[in-house]
Structure 1
């Protein structure tokens, strides 16, 4: 299923990678036979911008495009639709900026964003390929979405934070069943969810952080179709340890990341398998886990015991996003430059050949 694009974990400008000295880093060369040529694809014709992509297949996709300023200026994110090789700009909702994208096709797009106001205002908008249905958020002053995933038109999950009106933030998850949103507020926890991964209505993971002892510690929770349960991650007191990425194959097989700290859940315990550079972006291709990184090596794959280097997209110095489409293709957004003059690229890796 297609992973979302997010203004947090999948579109933020990533920093230079940490050195590969953290616990559990393993890195070996990948066999040459594993390498496959990346296909370079076009992006919307906007210079000095960061892009995040929501692809559906080889012909159709949406892209959120954020131009960055070199002086006192502001640019609102723009939204583009790809049909074949042609990009066209899509008018955005009038009541909010484009934040997180999720959807199942060009006629089924969700946009979660904010409308600037003294009290805060968070919008859920849907685009059917022609028109917008706006402000579907049942609690627009409280529920902020930081990541989302659409499983089908009638099964969409979004996570973020719920603001209680007295200065408190709490993790929040909300689900669209085709007609309405049902929101779960974890008011007993101070913190937020940054990322979500959905396998089925009874198998959902959400990760982020909880405020504890004046700092931030990891928060990982699983939903079994009835209730959310915490799966405690080993803490590092005195450090800012915020989970920003999650991917799973089921309730007993999940990966989470914070910086270069990467942990795997096997149903009983977490085991550290840190990546050689920071900010991994996870995706599965052919049943194997890939991670795009913020520095060299730009792309690694988990071989069951260690991270092995893979042939990365040619351009850029870092991978900002990985996502897999239903046909098994792996898409990467990669970039170079600094925060004042970024340049983004889009590449596709075809599905692996059938055995």
Structure 2
């Protein structure tokens, strides 16, 4: 599935759940099932950090954040892909492009902030032709950091809620086709950074809880929604670290992965087990029922064999993977790059076609 665009997590409608649901964590992948042939695609712009929201082989949206040299302002830009061509989309003047979510070219949500003395958090919708601006019912308080569209009338977004006492609390808000309904977890000091939706009764949201007491650290926060109640599923932390969960992907309530840096944990419905990746900042996606992780280092792409992370060398360009995302048609997209963002930078976009039907 596809989601947020902050660092490049997976980004749009629901994952090809039928394929993913047939594979358990204990299934060992054969070499033949590894990625083999990536299609190289054009990128919308150069010298920019890119994240993509794909729908099929011909259509997608993308966000780009240009790299700044000396004194400049890095204003994010929005792009639309039709076939092989990208065109820039003019966005509302009242907000910057932040998180993207949607189900198609005529159904795009853009969440961002308005930078002004009267700044606020904006929820804007694009129907492919025109914008409906700021549908956020609480623009002074509700900030979205990740979102996922299940359908036109079912969109989930998470982030934080700025309370009147000055505290930040985890927040979940849902679009039902006509309005946003927000749940504020005011008993927790912290925020959600990522969300993954399998069904209305199986949703995960992760982020952090502030330890408080002047320690300056954070505890991992993972919560599950069963359609009625949000319940915390405590994740063991590594002592002495600032442990913020920034990634989550789930193949059901008993098969969920979360990550903080290279610290990766798996939930089997009863306990968490650690399966750290060989490099940091994993971005997860499924393809053909297999779990892949793109990494910000070497190796840049790995897949889960059922017992260990196995290097996949099929993605040849670039030094790291910034985003993996599965499109609704089952294809896997990778944004990968090389450079140090100061002297030079190259971004690449590749697509792995859906697995052939058996």
Flag whether TM exceeds 0.5 (same fold).
yes
Alpha-carbon deviation of 1:36?
1.1
Q: How far has the Cα of 1:8 moved from its partner?
A: 4.4
> Hey, what does 1:65 align to over in structure 2?
64
Structure 1 CA distance for aligned equivalents of residues 183 and 4 of structure 2: 22
Residue correspondence of structure 1 range 15-94 to structure 2 within 5 A? 31=31, 34-44=34-44, 46-94=45-93
Structure 2 counterpart of 1:147: 146
| Preserved contact between residue 206 and residue 220 of structure 1 (Cα < 8 Å) | yes
Size of the aligned set, in residue pairs, is 337
Matched, 1:287 2:289: yes
- Corresponding residue for residue 330 of structure 2: 328
Structure-2 residue corresponding to 1:19: none
Alpha carbons 1:203, 1:250 under 8 Å: kept: yes
Structure 2 equivalent of residue 10 of structure 1: 9
Kindly state the Cα deviation for residue 314 of structure 1 after the two structures are TM-superposed.
1.9
Distance 1:108 1:210 in 2: 33
Q: Are 1:350 and 2:339 matched, yes or no? A: no
Deviations 1:142-194 (A, max 9, x none): 01100000010011000000011332111001000111101011111000000
Which whole-Å CA distance do the structure 1 matches of 2:50 and 2:33 have between them? 31
Closer, same or farther in 2 for the Cα pair 1:127/1:274, shift >3 Å?
A: same
Query: d(CA) in 2 for partners of 1:47 and 1:350?
Result: 24
1:310-325 aligned at under 5 Å gives the runs 310-325=312-327
Which ranges in structure 2 are unaligned for 5 or more consecutive residues? 11-27
Deviates more, 1:50-59 or 1:332-341: 332-341
Question: How much has 1:30 moved relative to structure 2?
Answer: 7.3
Indicate conservation of the 8 Å contact 2:62/2:78, yes or no.
Answer: yes
Q: How well do the aligned residues superpose, as a CA RMSD in angstroms? A: 1.7
SS across alignment from 2:251: strand
Q: Which residue of 2 aligns with 1:187?
A: 186
Equivalent pair of 2:331/2:351 in contact (CA under 8 Å): yes
Task: Return the match for 1:304 from 303, 306, 309.
Answer: 306
1:250 is paired with a residue whose SS is: coil
Where do 5+ consecutive residues of structure 1 fail to align?
12-27
Q: CA deviation at 1:342?
A: 2.5
